[in-house]
Amino acid sequence: MALLTGSNRINIAVFISGTGSNLNSLIKFSKLKKSPIIIKMIISNNYKAKGLQFANIYKIKKKVFDFKNTLSEKKVIYELKKNDIHFICLAGFMKILSRSFIKNFKGKIINIHPSLLPKYKGLNTYEKAIKNKDKYSGCTVHFVNSKLDSGKIINQKKVKINKFDTPETLAKRILIQEHKLYPAAIIKALSL
């Protein structure tokens, strides 16, 4: 059932582990007049994550959990439910969520991944695409299920690989596209 009905906004939590540039773009998106989301919480497994600065800048509640075991995950679920969170966006979140965590938010967790899935699940996607002499790489937003980077694809954007691309130059160009793709994916996912 579509989460988005009429003009109501959905409370979401964004999970991060690092820089948080996708988080920043989602915050900007959430501030648009017609945005369907309110970012109510930022969650991280890493108290040193640079992206946590956006919680302070934009006055969004932040919480850090180690996600090391079921107990830690249970605390996260408790916090999410307490804050009335109905949808979760993983944005550079480097922990694998357990089957039971995912069950609690079935069909309500999405992730952004820097490759054209199903190609190159997991890490080092830029290196793999360059090494295989692919013409294109890109990014994908997909629903999260219990298999890594394997849930239903919501949307994708292709990015051309140039002759002299290094993993770093390619990553930079893909990231620019990620910042546009993620908001569009949220709109689509919420209306499915």
Gap between the Cα atoms of 101 and 8, Å rounded: 26
Q: Which residue is nearest to ligand GRF (CB)?
A: 92
Using alpha carbons, select from 136, 133, 172, 177 the residue that is nearest to residue 155: 177
Which is nearer to ligand GRF, 74 or 119 (by Cβ)?
Answer: 119
Shortest reach from residue 16's CB to ligand GRF, in Å: 6
User: Which residues here bind ligand GRF, judged by CB under 6 A?
Assistant: 16, 18-22, 51, 91-92, 112-114, 139, 175, 178
Least distance from ligand GRF to the Cβ atom of residue 105, Å? 18
> Does residue 23 sit in helix, strand or coil?
helix
Torsion-angle region of residue 111: left (phi > 0), alpha (psi -120 to 50) or beta?
A: beta
- Residue 101 contacts residue 29 (beta carbons within 8 Å): no
Rounded distance between C-alpha atoms, residue 72 and residue 119, angstroms: 32
Task: Give the shortest CB-156-to-ligand GRF separation in angstroms.
Answer: 12
Contact of 188 with 155, CB cutoff 8 Å: yes
Nearest to 189 by CA among 155, 156, 158: 155
Instruction: Compute how many other C-beta atoms are within 10 angstroms of the C-beta atom of residue 43.
Output: 23
Positions marked active-site: 113
Distance of CA 104 to the CA centre of its chain: 17
Q: Which is nearer to ligand GRF, 74 or 169 (CB)?
A: 169
In the complex, the smallest distance separating the C-beta of residue 190 from ligand GRF, rounded to whole angstroms, is 20
